[in-house]
Structure 1
Amino acid sequence: MELRPFAVATDAATVASWPANADEVALWCGLGDFPVPARVVAGWQLDEDVRGQVLVAEERLLGYGEVWCDEEEDEAELARVIVPPDARGRGVGRRLVRSLSGLALRVGYTEIFMRVHPRNAAALRCYRGAGFRPVDPALAAEWNAPQPISYVWLRHAGE
């Protein structure tokens, strides 16, 4: 498996098709619409601080995620991580998150964070297995103050 940059023309529709219902969409990217239009996934790539990536094996997309680069804070956030339904529970998500973390480290970020919907137990297990640990509760409370929900905030443990 290898990580490569997201290609709007060939990858957007595939990634948009992975959530199976509105609840999965909400847990994945916080949107209320189902299905997610491919143009929405493509539009995420327009932000210059977003590096969309896909995990590929034998030309098949097995995962999607983003590295959000915050130059001002000198940190990165991993976001919108998803794998197709038939690849879940096989370690693909963990591999994807480790690859995204590796990319963030290679471009110079040593502080890497994630925010996770508190009901997304499978994602939390995956991210913990990929070396992320909860941030200090006071910091999480500060970061959640402007958010629509109280996310679980995780920090890369540098394992």
Structure 2
Amino acid sequence: MDLLPFAAVHAATVAGWPASAGEVALWCGRQEFPVSARTVADWQRDPDVRAHVLVEDGRAVAYGELWFDAEEDEVELARIIVAPDTRGTGRGRELVRALLARAVAAGYQDVFMRVHPDNDRALRCYRGAGFAPVAPGLAASWNEAQPVAYVWLQGARDGAGAP
């Protein structure tokens, strides 16, 4: 497995992974289905976003982004998705651990992610990768400006234990 920087050639592949409008909403909060390759490629225009793909035998099997916020000295993992035919094989957990390691290696100790409250499978994956819920008061304050009451998680500073 290799974690590689996202390239435009990956956009159509990643855009094709969600199988329904509901899955798109859980993945990236968008209402469009299907998601276009252009949408995925356009996400890369933000200078604070660093997208990656997990590649196995030359094929992208998972996608995720690091959203760097230098002002807050933190990183958010976002838009995590795994190819449908490899779900349930640990690829999501592997991707999340690798992204967390990249964030920590870049000098960021505070690494967070938000998860739709109905995305039980993702919550299990992220907890298995070393993420734990933030304090309820902090989650409530962050959710004030959000469209749903996300579950906010913080990554382990050492990539394996508690935050």
TM-score range normalised by the length of the shorter chain? over 0.9
Task: Report the Cα offset of residue 157 of structure 1.
Answer: 2.1
CA distance in 2, matches of 1:108, 1:3: 18
| Corresponding residue for residue 140 of structure 2 | 141
| Corresponding residue for residue 44 of structure 1 | 43
Q: How does 1:85-96 map to 2 (within 5 A)?
A: 85-96=84-95
User: In the alignment, residue 76 of structure 1 is paired with which amino acid?
Assistant: V
| Corresponding residue for residue 113 of structure 1 | 112
1:7-39 CA distance string (max 9 Å, x none): 01x100000000000000000000011100000
Identical-residue share of aligned pairs (%): 63
User: In the alignment, residue 138 of structure 2 is paired with which amino acid?
Assistant: L
1:113-137 CA distance string (max 9 Å, x none): 0000000000000000000000000
Gaps of 5+ in 1: none
| Corresponding residue for residue 77 of structure 1 | 76
CA distance in 2, matches of 1:88, 1:18: 11
What is the CA RMSD across the aligned residues, in angstroms?
Answer: 0.5
Count, aligned residues? 158
| Corresponding residue for residue 5 of structure 1 | 5
CA distance in 2, matches of 1:45, 1:135: 28
1:91-125 CA distance string (max 9 Å, x none): 00000000000110111111000000000000000
